Amino acid sequence: HLSFENFKKNPSVNYDLMKELGLMYTDKDFIRKVIIRIGPKGYVLHEKFKSAAANVYNMEVRSSDVFVASFPRSGTTWTQDMVWLIMSDLDYERALNIPLTERYAFFEFFSSFDDGIKMKLLDANKDDEAKLKEIKLIFKPATEILETTPSPRFIKTHLPLSLMPRKALEAKIVYVARDPRDAIVSLYHLVNSMRFMNLEHDFKAFWNTFVKNLQPWTPYFDHVKEAWEKRDHPNMLFLFYEDMRKDLPSVVRRISDFFGKKYNEEEIARLCDHLSFDNFKKNTSVNFDLIKELGFMYADKDFIRKGKSGGWRDYFDEEMTAEADKWIEENLRDTDLRFPSMQ
Ligand code: A3P
């Protein structure tokens, strides 16, 4: 009776009455979500991940698997499409026609949302077979999807290395990191774009929960450092978002070398054009317009948002800037990890 799932749907305690009275938005919940902390670093994840953690960790890895991993909002989508095209002999036709969400299985997506959200989405789209199919697919555990996926399998994850399949480095991992101040601004916008998340109107409050390691997938620096420590492993490629923005062709060459692919200058130029911010923003295979159509994201928001570095300065006041400097300094003290934007 007192379990989270039962409490959430029990109208005697879940405050749905407040919604009926018009005090609360109907797509918000009083009994919201339960987060858990996993492992020695205490990574924050949705409670539902408990049911997936062992399946992910013990997953059978194929040497041909390709993982794209990152802390959220670090340029994952950009990296995913780049990696996929490089691996797929620059097959633009498929890249433009098969949504990235179908080309990659996303480990922890299905466990990031309550069942109630899935139900609401299914209900809102109940007359549209294609959308129902898509919703069922994105809520299906990735490990189940992967069992029958032909090689090479492409996998997206925001899990840190220690929570990924323990044999992941027997396959190939591309990890992308971004200045945390830009990533957090970007995450703040994303949270405010999603229909079923609690809106965070105050960026300062959001930032405070981030540095206190209360946001999903934090602690941020442990996440990045775990990958950085493996950067010289032959199956790990560590990238920075800032380098992709500064010199995309050289990042394309690094990824091509990593996967043993060779492309000429003309092919690289075409790929960089395909990956340019303006083209990416209007590319429906990667821009997540699909999740707007499913009712997950507000129609006037964008997943591919600004695509700049250093935009955080418009959001941080003097006090937050000083706090961020101290936080970064403390966390970089025991490592040679340096972000291009901090040199
Ligand atoms: P902003 O919100 O700062 O614009 P992820 O894919 O990990 O969620 O990261 C999203 C961030 O990458 C967003 O940052 C998005 O705009 C940016 N991004 C996506 N595609 C990009 C591209 N082609 N060029 C530059 N930035 C891109």
pLDDT at residue number 3: 78
Atom 23 of ligand 1, nearest CA residue: 277
pLDDT digits (tens, 9 = 90+) for 169-206: 999 999 999 999 999 999 999 989 988 776 667 999 99
Minimum-distance ligand 1 atom for the alpha carbon of 72: 7
Whole-number average pLDDT of the chain:
93
Minimum-distance ligand 1 atom for the alpha carbon of 304: 16
53 — phi, psi (to 5°)?
-55, -50
Query: In this predicted model, which residue has the larger pLDDT, 314 or 12?
Result: 314
Compute, in angstroms, the gap from residue 183 CA to the centroid of ligand 1: 9
Query: In this predicted model, which residue has the larger pLDDT, 301 or 201?
Result: 301
pLDDT at residue number 115: 76
Region 278-295 average pLDDT? 91
Measured CA to CA, the distance from residue 97 to residue 56 in angstroms comes to: 29
Atom 8 of ligand 1, nearest CA residue: 73
pLDDT at residue number 224: 98
- pLDDT exceeds 80 at position 107: yes
- pLDDT exceeds 80 at position 337: yes
Region 2-21 average pLDDT? 85
Other beta carbons within 10 angstroms of residue 34's beta carbon come to 13
- pLDDT exceeds 70 at position 11: yes
pLDDT at residue number 67: 98
Minimum-distance ligand 1 atom for the alpha carbon of 186: 2
- pLDDT exceeds 80 at position 310: yes
Measured CA to CA, the distance from residue 232 to residue 244 in angstroms comes to: 19
pLDDT at residue number 124: 87
pLDDT at residue number 198: 65
| Pocket lined around ligand 1, Cβ cut-off 6 Å | 70, 72-78, 182, 186, 189, 275, 277, 280, 304-307
pLDDT digits (tens, 9 = 90+) for 233-273: 999 999 999 999 999 999 999 999 999 999 999 999 999 99
Percent residues over pLDDT 70 in the chain: 99
User: Which pTM was predicted?
Assistant: 0.92
Percent residues over pLDDT 90 in the chain: 70
pLDDT digits (tens, 9 = 90+) for 43-98: 999 888 988 999 999 999 999 999 999 999 999 999 999 999 999 999 999 999 99
pLDDT at residue number 256: 98
Minimum-distance ligand 1 atom for the alpha carbon of 74: 7
pLDDT at residue number 48: 85
Establish whether this prediction's ipTM goes over 0.90.
Answer: yes
- SS3 string, the chain, reads CCCHHHHHCCCCCCCHHHHHCCCCCCCCCCCCCCEEEECCCCEEEEHHHHHHHHHHHCCCCCCCCEEEEECCCCCHHHHHHHHHHHHCCCCHHHHHHCCHHHHCEECCCHHHCCHHHHHHHHHHCCCCHHHHHHHHHHCCCHHHHHHCCCCCCEEEECCCHHHCCCCHHHCEEEEEECCHHHHHHHHHHHHCCECCCCCCCCHHHHHHHHHCCCCCCCCHHHHHHHHHCCCCCCCEEEEEHHHHHHCHHHHHHHHHHHCCCCCCHHHHHHHHHHCCHHHHHHCCCCCCHHHHHCCCECCCCCCCCCCCCCHHHHCCCHHHHHHHHHHHHHHHCCCCCCCHHHC
pLDDT digits (tens, 9 = 90+) for 133-175: 888 888 889 999 999 999 999 999 999 999 999 999 999 999 9
